[in-house]
């Protein structure tokens, strides 16, 4: 039934010229054919470059490592780009590896795998040009700009001079989590550079959103007690995106871009959420979006279950005891229960 449903969605997305998503893309001057994936089959589809950037906004790291050599007692500088995931998503890491054509995928443990590009030449010729052409949308853009400035110094050989080394130390102070305890104690007088001011970016392509959701999104089925229901329970579908408070302004742009949802804030918490919970919006905007711009990792399985529950709710199955039991079974196997 799910395969039939997906086929119907694909046909609708392909032929319904006036669909909401197509209309919004046309308003922004984007071609739906140029921004879509080639196939729903993850083994054959080619990743969209905007999907890569969206996923990197959520899961990648631009790292500058400064470590003292046990042999020469000198400080060695290494820069690398990495994406670390649960090992169940190792196929996605291989697809990203194939997209860039550089770097390697490593199995760190039974539960962890990483894609790493450590060659300065490859970073300078492949990774940096990609993010210059398809820029990051979140505050991670500031980390990329700092990382890029370190690569410029390394490429010029300035990291081998005392002046260049101190410049890189100052940059590292403002990059990611800053200096570790060893570096702080070894270089107490280092002056951090100003962190680049990155203005909130507007989403340029829905494929970016698909990649970002792959990294940071959640398809959630809520079951809760309800005295108004004959079964004693009610069901609700929620699409959730979480991000640090520093990206709150960017998260607000999701409401404008999708034309639905709201921003949920928490007291004494460091993150905010973008939430879509209205049944109409879930069925008419969120589900068609990820049919047209499919997820490529294991999260596509959660989305498939999300669609199953949506179909049950469309035929009012959630108003019956049998329907609630079916939804409970699906919910138990989603997200952390998978």
Whether residue 110 is found in the same domain as residue 235: no
Whether residue 90 is found in the same domain as residue 215: no
Q: Tokens 């280092």 belong to which residue?
A: 190
Bridge partners (DSSP) listed for residue 224: 234
Whether residue 64 is found in the same domain as residue 170: yes
Does any domain span residue 248? yes
Tell me how crowded residue 312 is: count the other CB atoms within 10 A of its CB: 18
Give pLDDT, residue 221: 96
Determine if residue 32 is left, alpha or beta; phi over 0 gives left, psi from -120 to 50 gives alpha, anything else beta: alpha
Determine if residue 261 is left, alpha or beta; phi over 0 gives left, psi from -120 to 50 gives alpha, anything else beta: left
Does any domain span residue 198? no
Range of the domain at 243: 2-35+206-337
Does any domain span residue 74? yes
Q: What is the pLDDT of residues 115-147, one digit of tens each?
A: 999 999 999 999 999 999 999 999 999 999 999
Low-confidence ranges of the chain (pLDDT < 70): 1-45
The three-class DSSP label of residue 64 is strand
Whether residue 24 is found in the same domain as residue 99: no
The domain that holds 280 is classified in CATH as 3.10.28.10
Whether residue 319 is found in the same domain as residue 242: yes
Whether residue 156 is found in the same domain as residue 223: no
Determine if residue 147 is left, alpha or beta; phi over 0 gives left, psi from -120 to 50 gives alpha, anything else beta: alpha
Whether residue 177 is found in the same domain as residue 211: no
In whole angstroms, how far apart are CA 68 and each of 27, 77, 88, 176, 305? 54, 9, 34, 20, 49
Q: Which structure tokens are listed for 136?
A: 């990051």
Q: Which structure tokens are listed for 230?
A: 């004959």
Does any domain span residue 42? no
Does any domain span residue 144? yes
User: Mind giving me the DSSP string for 72-139?
Assistant: T--EEEEEEEEEEEEGGGHHHHHHHHHHH--SEEEE-SSSEEEEEE--HHHIIIIIHHHHHHS---ST
Whether residue 231 is found in the same domain as residue 307: yes
Does any domain span residue 199? no
Boundary (domain end) residue, out of 127, 152, 186? 186
Does any domain span residue 270? yes
Does any domain span residue 48? no
Give pLDDT, residue 45: 57
Domain count, the chain: 2
């Amino acid at each position: 039934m799910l395969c039939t449903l997906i086929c119907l969605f694909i046909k609708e997305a392909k032929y319904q010229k006036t669909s909401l998503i197509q209309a919004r893309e046309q308003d922004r001057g984007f071609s739906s054919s140029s921004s879509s994936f080639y196939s729903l089959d993850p083994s054959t589809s080619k990743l969209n470059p905007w999907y890569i950037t969206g996923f990197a906004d959520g899961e990648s790291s631009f790292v500058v490592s400064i470590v003292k050599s046990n042999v020469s007692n000198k400080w060695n500088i290494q820069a690398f780009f990495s994406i670390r995931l649960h090992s169940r998503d190792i196929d996605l890491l291989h697809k990203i590896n194939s997209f860039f054509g550089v770097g390697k995928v490593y199995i760190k443990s039974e539960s962890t795998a990483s894609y790493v590009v450590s060659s300065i030449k490859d970073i300078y010729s492949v990774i940096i040009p990609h993010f210059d052409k398809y820029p990051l949308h979140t505050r991670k853009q500031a980390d990329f700009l700092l990382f890029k400035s370190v690569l410029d110094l390394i490429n010029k050989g300035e990291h081998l001079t005392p002046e260049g080394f101190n410049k890189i130390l100052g940059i590292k102070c403002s990059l990611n989590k800053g200096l570790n305890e060893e570096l702080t104690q070894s270089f107490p007088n280092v002056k951090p550079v100003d962190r680049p001011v990155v203005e909130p970016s507007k989403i340029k392509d829905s494929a970016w959103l698909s990649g970002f959701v792959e990294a940071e999104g959640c398809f959630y089925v809520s079951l809760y007690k309800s005295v108004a229901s004959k079964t004693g329970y009610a069901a609700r579908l929620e699409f959730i995106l979480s991000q640090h408070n520093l990206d709150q302004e960017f998260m607000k742009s999701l409401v404008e871009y999708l034309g639905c949802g709201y921003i949920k804030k928490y007291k004494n918490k460091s993150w905010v959420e973008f939430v879509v919970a209205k049944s109409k919006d879930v069925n008419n905007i969120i589900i068609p979006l990820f049919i047209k711009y499919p997820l490529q990792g294991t999260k596509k399985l959660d989305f498939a279950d999300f669609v199953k529950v949506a179909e049950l709710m469309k035929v009012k199955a959630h108003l019956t005891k049998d329907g609630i039991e079916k939804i409970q079974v699906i919910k138990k196997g989603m997200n952390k229960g998978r």
